[in-house]
């Protein structure tokens, strides 16, 4: 086992695993090809991970060619069918959870070289059990991978990765009220008062705002100066101009003690992610474009996180998949503790923040910010926010 291979196995959970306050840390190797690659399970308060890493990346924090799958829950006692397959010379690296892809089909890595060979498979021991582990010294194409999934696993627990069925959109048409804020984003004057954090390179051309980082390793955030209430509808139009990158929307952002996020008493922020996810401000954020070169290539989901504990609370289908071109119409609805994100009219995230024992009290009103990770180049226009009236009970 070296340059090509396929690993498949059944994963048996002894109980349900959740993230959230006080869950604690645990880690278990599931399957390992010594000297080549490993698949492992881990849980921290903020997230549950299924990670596929390569020996050459051990300790680097970079999963080149591997897959990190972030979850909030894994049911149990339950059994799941996992597959991981690769052809390093062709840049192919794919995974499947009960037949559901863990990477957007067609995502290609830069070809890489597997330095060593494995002659044995090691199954880890712990509270989670692995059975029926098989390895093959060849890459398995997507259609063959789907056919290899036992019929009883097809479609089971699809909601862990995306949606098992499309959720029902909130009815906001009759509840949308006053236009609170509008920025056409076509000139510097149209975003007067917006606050940049990190090495932001902002330009305007063809009636649109072009946003990127001016530094190779610097990430950026651009904050709307207004505070918005607990219920709102926000819309903007986004166009990815780079093949790779990460685009995020922060919302309901305020100091952890209720301060304005620009209060001078709060620590300075410079685009470093932990300043927002585990710092002195609270917020939600959704990553709606996620195709990070050689790290999270072709991520198949839109993650919803609750900060400043960085809880991975929900997700759904990726809003803007790799290779998308043209303008993408984004709509974010916050209806009290209910959150929905739409891309071109399709729901990508639907979650209700109603478990304070697990994730703390829901966040209320606050500011909205647009974040990009190097090397994202994005174009924006027509940012608008409206009030949303409370739904009337029937």
Average pLDDT taken over every residue of the chain: 94
Query: pLDDT tens-digit profile of 134-160?
Result: 999 999 999 999 999 999 999 899 999
The whole model's pTM is what?
Answer: 0.96
Task: Give me the residues paired with residue 329 across strands.
Answer: 237
Segment 329-376, tens digit of pLDDT: 999 999 999 999 999 999 999 999 999 999 999 999 999 999 999 999
CATH code matching the domain that covers 176-388, chosen among 3.40.50.720, 2.60.120.200, 2.40.160.210, 3.40.1350.10: 2.60.120.200
What is the C-alpha separation between 39 and 372, in angstroms, rounded? 29
- 4-160 shares its CATH topology with 176-388: yes
Q: Report the CATH fold assignment for 4-160.
A: Jelly Rolls (2.60.120)
Q: Please give the average per-residue pLDDT across 297-315, as a whole number.
A: 95
Taking the domains of the chain in order of start, what are their residue ranges?
4-160, 176-388
Backbone phi, then psi, for 351, in 5-degree steps? -150, 145
Q: How far apart are CA 316 and CA 300, in angstroms?
A: 8
Whether the predicted pLDDT of 62 surpasses 80:
no
């Amino acid at each position: 086992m070296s340059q090509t291979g396929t690993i498949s196995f059944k994963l048996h959970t002894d109980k349900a695993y959740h993230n959230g306050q006080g869950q604690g840390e645990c880690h278990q190797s599931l399957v390992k090809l010594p000297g080549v690659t490993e698949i492992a399970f881990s849980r921290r308060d903020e997230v549950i991970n299924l990670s596929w890493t390569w020996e050459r990346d051990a300790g680097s924090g970079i999963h080149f060619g591997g897959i990190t799958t972030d979850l909030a829950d894994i049911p149990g006692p339950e059994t799941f069918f996992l597959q991981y397959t690769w052809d390093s010379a062709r840049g192919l690296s794919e995974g499947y959870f009960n037949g559901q892809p863990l990477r957007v089909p067609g995502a290609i890595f830069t070809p890489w070289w597997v330095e060593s060979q494995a002659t044995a498979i090691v199954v880890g021991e712990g509270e989670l059990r692995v059975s029926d582990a098989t390895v093959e010294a060849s890459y398995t194409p997507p259609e063959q991978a789907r056919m290899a999934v036992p019929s009883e696993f097809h479609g089971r627990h699809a909601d862990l990765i995306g949606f098992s069925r499309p959720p029902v959109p909130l009815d906001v048409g009759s509840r949308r009220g006053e236009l609170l804020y509008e920025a056409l984003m076509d000139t510097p004057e149209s975003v007067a008062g917006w606050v940049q954090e990190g090495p932001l390179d902002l330009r305007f051309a063809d009636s649109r705002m072009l946003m990127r980082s001016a530094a190779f390793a610097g990430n950026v955030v651009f904050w709307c100066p207004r505070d918005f209430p607990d219920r709102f509808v926000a819309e903007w139009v986004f166009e990815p101009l780079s093949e790779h990158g990460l685009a995020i929307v922060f919302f309901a952002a305020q100091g952890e003690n209720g301060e304005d996020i620009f209060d001078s008493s709060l620590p300075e922020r410079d685009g470093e992610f932990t300043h927002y996810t585990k710092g002195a401000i609270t917020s939600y954020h959704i990553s709606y474009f996620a195709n990070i070169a050689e790290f999270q290539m072709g991520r198949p989901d839109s993650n919803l996180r609750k900060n400043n504990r960085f809880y991975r609370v929900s997700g759904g289908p990726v809003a803007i998949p790799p290779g998308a071109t043209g303008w993408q119409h984004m709509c974010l609805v916050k209806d009290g503790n209910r959150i929905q994100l739409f891309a071109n009219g399709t729901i990508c995230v639907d979650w209700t923040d109603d478990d304070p024992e697990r994730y703390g009290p829901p966040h209320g009103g606050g500011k909205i910010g647009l974040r990009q990770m190097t090397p994202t180049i994005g174009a924006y226009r027509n940012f608008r926010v409206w009030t949303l009236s409370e739904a009337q009970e029937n």
